[in-house]
Amino acid sequence: MFYLLPIAVPFVAAYAATRMLRGENLAKYDEGIPVTFDCDPHSEGLKKMNAYLYDNFEAPADGHKGGEPIASKRKRFDKAGLARDFPDTTFTPLSMPAKWGDIDGEWVTTKKTDPDKRILYIHGGAFTVGSCLSHRALTSRLAKMTGASVCAVNYRLMPEHKRMAGIEDCRTAYKWILENGPDGPFSVKKLCVAGDSAGGNLTLSTIQWARNKSLRPADAAITLSPGIDGTFSSPSIRKNVGTDHMLRPMLGNLLNVPKTLLLWGSFKQVGISPSSPVISPIFGDLSGLPPTLIQASSAEILYDDARRYTAKARKAGSDVKLQTWSHLPHVWQIFDDILPEADDALKEIAGFLKGHGF
């Protein structure tokens, strides 16, 4: 029987390693959290929205083997952000001293901005696209609604940089904004960390890190359609692939990859275990975190990431509020010029922050 050991040991080791990459079974957090806001799936706004999503997320991949090139997508995202006018809003290039790292971005302010109240905004874009320019629709509204100074940072993107580089940039920006505002060095009085999609992931990862480092905690955190589980174990990953018109072109093909290969492929690409709290905040200690508002759509692929995170964080004693909308696309809040529901969601965010001193 012992002659089988040389054959069995590699298989056992591979199985154990895969279990480590997969992390804990998160199905125990599948609590029945009802949809907060029920939307009309046949509204004119959603019809316009779905047409826009097809033109800008599904159609661009046509004619490109393997999808639209990243450089092209980055230009298109920034162009969309610059196409709109944001009256009574000032965008000032971020000036971060070299000792803090090579991080740029912009301060978003209004005439009524309070420099002592600050929002660190971390943009989405699947860790590969997006910038402070592409997300001005969100950062300008946050500045106007809250009276806070919004610091939108451009963290390093993949694939030319490692995933950890973007994470480190967000951590650096967190430490920097504690002592620096739009008018220069001055300790913050009220701080919120916010982000959408990939930026929501980085937001939740950053506030965990800040707690672990005993840094001054944020007074609140906001995440919009966050990606929280890098092991792709949420049921909505498959269940909602037909209704998520934004993420389906990018993630739909991954559903055909065997789970074991997907985990190992992610580990090889990123260099970090998919179940590490550094890139999958739901696998971390969720106690002692700032009051957090999560908004997600029941029609998007990442819906159950939000539900599971909320359930686990509440069990750990953290104050996490989940608001969900039906039928809406991923990060619908950025489309306030198309969807009335985007305006409603942004007002909910303003009310949440007002309740926490903003």
- Report the catalytic residues: 197, 300, 330
* Nearest of 133, 93, 139 to residue 119 by alpha carbon: 139
> Contact, 115 vs 181, CB < 8 A?
yes
Distances, alpha carbon 51 to alpha carbons 58, 64, 297, 328, in Å: 10, 20, 18, 13
**Who's near 11: CB < 8 A, 6+ residues apart?**
none
DSSP label at 217?
P
Within 54-97, residue ranges assigned H as helices are 70-82
Q: How far apart are CA 109 and CA 111, in angstroms?
A: 7
DSSP H or E run through 211: helix 198-212
Q: How far apart are CA 353 and CA 341, in angstroms?
A: 19
> Contact, 205 vs 286, CB < 8 A?
no
> Contact, 264 vs 18, CB < 8 A?
yes
